[in-house]
Amino acid sequence: MTKIRIHSRLSELDRDQWQALRHSRYPFLDYDFLLTLESSGSIGQETGWLPYYIVAYNDTESDPIEWIVPAFIKTHSYGEYVFDWSWAEAYQHHGLAYYPKLLCAVPFTPSTGPRLLHGPNTSAEQLWPNITALLDQLCEQQSLSGWHINFLPATHALAITDEQHQPAMRHGCQFHWHNRGYTDFDHYLDTFTSRKRKSVRKERQKITQQGIQIHRKTGTEISTDDIEFFYQCYQMTYAQRRSRGYLNVDFFRQLLRDMSSQMLLVLAHDNDTPVAAALYFFDEHCLYGRYWGSLVDADALHFEACYYQGIEFCIERKLTRFDPGTQGEHKISRGFEPITTYSLHRLQHSDFHHAVHDFVHQEQQHIAQYQQQARSLLPFKID
């Protein structure tokens, strides 16, 4: 018999059981990644991210956990990257409370990946329809305005979108790089038109012309001093926008201790002085570009540290995909192709849910047109 329990702290769950339910090394559902968010104070009651781990237990002693959905009760919409501020404003305009809401996502991480951990005898596609019915019940019991599942794989999203539940499926657009068996960076550039190829080479030459050296570090090569410097750069990016980064320095220090084997740090030096840094994560298939910052204004340095170094790393490690993060039409001319992201939304208020459902359906058409236009600007030769 299955029993559902809610845990407000990850430390209440056994690390080995959690890790055993993972079907890939996707870094952002690693026990240590989420635990570091909590223990560093980057999430918690005071931040508006209240952990709400939904766990299905069974009666067997050998395998007591059937599945886990990492979720959060949110009192705002910051750090989600699927923007629903206008929905919250509409609720407020009608005297209704949009917050708190239930969110199934990884905090501050707009990267597509699993949003459900489960055992080997079933699939996420089979489990999700029943889980979303449970999410409906939890929202009603806890007086939450609705549930949201952000950046989940397409097959999972389609499994949830059935006639019974009809959540609103929202599309987004990101730009990802795909490895088609390239042997080195020049091999990759051979797929470009002549003009675009020359443009990239000229851009990369600017780095050496400015006397900047680039170094890639992984695992134990990354030192505590490297992370301290990176954090300066990370906060500099936000300071330029007159804000502050969501994540504190303790978060990055703890990640270096517990997850360095899945971290890539790109450092830029001017002579012997570090001037910029970009931090990535990776698993067996994909590289994820996450954070960047620079203490100097050097021409083309952002493109080198955040894109070209990542592409070279993927080719060397034979990774199939590079997810550099959200936004950025400037990625198109460098070979990053438009892909569709998926999120699902179910509001408890039926009239608002129907309005949101209609809105995202119309938005999908605009996203499709935008992607078609973006594809026409890709730098590749026409095959």
In this predicted structure, the answer to whether residue 242 has a pLDDT above a threshold of 80 is: no
Rounded CA gap, 308 and 6, in Å? 43
Mean pLDDT of 67-86: 97
- Which fold would CATH assign to domain 3-173+339-375? Aminopeptidase (3.40.630)
Q: In this model, does residue 164 exceed pLDDT 70?
A: no
- If one compares 120 and 31, the residue with the highest pLDDT of the two is 31
User: Taking all residues of the chain, what is their mean pLDDT, rounded to a whole number?
Assistant: 95
3-class SS at 6?
strand
First to last CA, the chain: 56
Quick one: tokens of 181? 């068996």
User: What pLDDT, on a 0 to 100 scale, did the predictor assign at position 161?
Assistant: 82
Give me the residue spans of the domains in the chain.
3-173+339-375, 180-319
Secondary structure of 111-163 as H, E, C letters? CCCCCCEECCCCCHHHHHHHHHHHHHHHHHHHCCCEEEECCCCHHHHHHHCCC
The yes/no answer on whether domain 180-319 falls in CATH 3.40.630.30 is yes
Instruction: Yes or no: say if 71 and 54 are a contact pair by the CB < 8 Å rule.
Output: yes
User: What pLDDT is recorded for position 64?
Assistant: 87
Q: Residue 2: its pLDDT value, please?
A: 86
Half-sphere exposure of residue 371, counting CA atoms within 13 Å on the CB side? 17
Composition of the chain by helix, strand, coil, percent to 5: 40, 25, 35
pLDDT for the residue numbered 58? 86
Q: For 208-262, what is the HEC assignment?
A: HHCCEEEEEEEHHHCCHHHHHHHHHHHHHHHHCCCCCCCCCHHHHHHHHHHHHHH
Encode pLDDT of 307-365 as tens digits.
999 999 999 999 999 999 988 899 999 999 999 999 999 999 999 999 999 999 999 99
Rounded to whole angstroms, how far apart are CA atoms 224 and 247? 17
Q: Tell me the per-residue pLDDT of 184-212, one tens digit each, with 9 for 90 and over.
A: 999 999 999 999 999 999 999 999 999 99
Topology alike, domains 3-173+339-375 and 180-319: yes
Confidence of residue 162 (pLDDT cuts 50, 70, 90): low
